[in-house]
Homo-oligomer: A and B are copies of this chain.
């Protein structure tokens, strides 16, 4: 924490602030500048809320300095984390040189739908299948997912095609079931700061895919992951899915710069979801290419064999043929970066 004093702050005011800091059991370091004095504080483990110094006389503002996350930080672990996802057809690796492709429908609708999509995706060679059994929907009147019977359909897809299954949990109850039926627990953007759910995910035995909240700062995103790691689950994959801005032409603004920013601060892998990230079908292909080019460790793409009949998010789903084309271009770009798509 750094306390910045007004340029006309008196020596007494500076001294009073320093004394208050020392009273709190911390150490104050006055740094007299040509224009104004700043006071550095050390020794704070995070227990004391120093913002209150801002209301002392002569103080302009308090600037936090130390980053609050620990376990997710490169300070603690320098090399990239490579998450290993066990599937019926062998382990899938995510991170390091490995780029993971996850595809499937937004929502599990019927057995026929899932198998139709899965069989076409199987042909492309990808190994992770996504589909929502529990759907967080803005409206209580929209399709809310099939729940347990959706998980059972995913489990059959798993058995039939050897896919690893990625699916979302929305509360502690559904997380128990996802843990039983799937291979990766997805935490959605709206639940990124559902701390009760994050703690439960931290005690789960499966890897977790954590999506960035709609208006989460980078620090908040990493702190949400820290909740999971702090409970003992180190297999966390982050996922950028677009943030909310003033922008008028797409549902969200895909923030690809967060990929190198995460990689500078954290050892965790980060994927990109260009389907939610853009909300429009014709943007999925170009932004998939861009995501891999920027250094993402994987893509989460919505694929539906009949988008115009989808019960949710048909507008952003592409068909399996388009996905095959996407995969082809993404593979070419990954070689430029000397990485492998699995």
Contacts of A68 in B (CB 8 A): 138-139, 141
Contact with B along A38-65 (1 / 0, CB 8 A): 1010110111010111110000100101
- Given known A49-B311, A257-B253, A290-B290, contact A40–B38 (CB-CB < 8 A): yes
Contacts of A290 in B (CB 8 A): 256, 290-291, 293-294
Contact status A33-B38, CB under 8 Å: no
> A214-239: which residues lie under 8 A (CB-CB) from chain B?
214-215, 217-220, 223, 226-227, 230
Dominant SS among interface residues on chain A: mixed
Residue of B nearest to A193 (CB): B190
Determine, out of A116-124, A155-163, A178-186, A328-336, the stretch whose residues face the partner at the interface: A328-336
Each complex incorporates copies of this chain amounting to: 4
Residue of B nearest to A317 (CB): B52
Contact status B193-A171, CB under 8 Å: no
> A226-281: which residues lie under 8 A (CB-CB) from chain B?
226-227, 230, 243-250, 253-261, 264-265, 277-278, 280-281
- Between A and B, 17 residue pairs with Cβ closer than 8 Å are A2-B63, A6-B75, A7-B73, A33-B43, A49-B310, A54-B315, A55-B315, A138-B223, A170-B194, A172-B172, A217-B247, A217-B249, A218-B248, A250-B257, A260-B282, A290-B293, A329-B336
Contacts of A244 in B (CB 8 A): 215, 246
Contact status A66-B315, CB under 8 Å: no
Q: How far is the CA of A45 from the CA of B142 in the complex (A)?
A: 10
A residues whose Cβ falls under 8 Å from a Cβ of B: 2, 4, 6-8, 20, 29, 31-36, 38, 40, 42-43, 45-47, 49, 51-55, 60, 63, 65-69, 73-75, 136-144, 170-174, 190-191, 193-197, 199, 214-215, 217-220, 223, 226-227, 230, 243-250, 253-261, 264-265, 277-278, 280-283, 286-287, 289-295, 307-308, 310-316, 329, 332-333, 336-337
What 12 new A-B contacts, CB under 8 Å, besides A38-B40, A140-B227, A140-B230? A49-B310, A49-B311, A139-B226, A144-B195, A171-B196, A174-B196, A190-B195, A191-B194, A249-B257, A290-B294, A333-B336, A336-B336
Across the interface, A42 reaches (CB within 8 A) one of B31, B217, B247, B287, namely B31
Q: How far is the CA of A256 from the CA of B290 in the complex (A)?
A: 8
Contact status B227-A33, CB under 8 Å: no
Would you give the shortest CB distance from A219 to chain B, in whole angstroms?
7
Contacts of A174 in B (CB 8 A): 196
Would you give the shortest CB distance from A73 to chain B, in whole angstroms?
8
Across the interface, A307 reaches (CB within 8 A) one of B20, B46, B52, B230, namely B52
Instruction: Name the residue in A143, A174, A245, A313 with the highest tally of chain B Cβ atoms < 10 Å from its Cβ.
Output: A245
Contacts of A20 in B (CB 8 A): 308
Q: How far is the CA of A230 from the CA of B141 in the complex (A)?
A: 9
